[in-house]
Chain A
């Protein structure tokens, strides 16, 4: 079955450590996205990529980094510079641009203490 996988489902880290969240899709989609979700704040876009080896900052990119070396993969690194990293992180993909629906992964809940 085609879809998006995010791993792990739950992730715990100590403050000051970088952590990388995995996102893989086998839908042959060109575009991929990372969102952060906090209670009562909806979805906030962190980074997005429309093509391999290219990506753009979203609304809250500070303290995060991404890479897009393969079409199928779009990992997100939460760096120690991110002041409030504890959140629910969602990865999504779409065929091309924003005129197409996005397919979402199940999410990763990151807790930093």
Chain B
């Protein structure tokens, strides 16, 4: 069965600093990987996704993620964090012909001024 681990429950960074949120997955075949962001009291919004090809994918709001098969990781990065990036971030994995995705437990990002 597939699983997703986000090791960091809560991360605090200063505005303007770089950010890396970790995501590890467990899945036998090539995974379909996603990062979503959720502002308090809102639904989730897709940041980026990886299906195949280039292992470095660009997303919205200046985010990028790198797929590393050897490490079973799909970490999310941003070079310079803005106060508006404070939110909860979820990593998810899907598989072909499966009806449901598997979500990580989320990482809450706090941005210090």
Chain A positions within 8 Å of B, measured between CB atoms, are 4, 31, 33, 40-43, 45, 48, 50, 56, 58, 88, 90, 92, 97-107, 109
Contact = CB atoms under 8 A, between A and B. Distances in A.
Given A41-B105, A42-B105, A107-B42, A100 B94 contact: yes
Contacts, number: 66
15 contacts: A33-B100, A42-B90, A42-B104, A43-B106, A50-B99, A58-B100, A92-B43, A97-B94, A97-B96, A97-B98, A98-B32, A98-B98, A101-B34, A102-B34, A103-B46
A38 to B, nearest CB: 11
Given A99-B94, A99-B95, A90 B44 contact: yes
B43 A97 contact: no
Contact of A104 (B9, B44, B96): B44
Contacts of A41: 105
Contacts of A43: 44, 90, 103, 106
A98 B95 contact: yes
Nearest to A42: B105
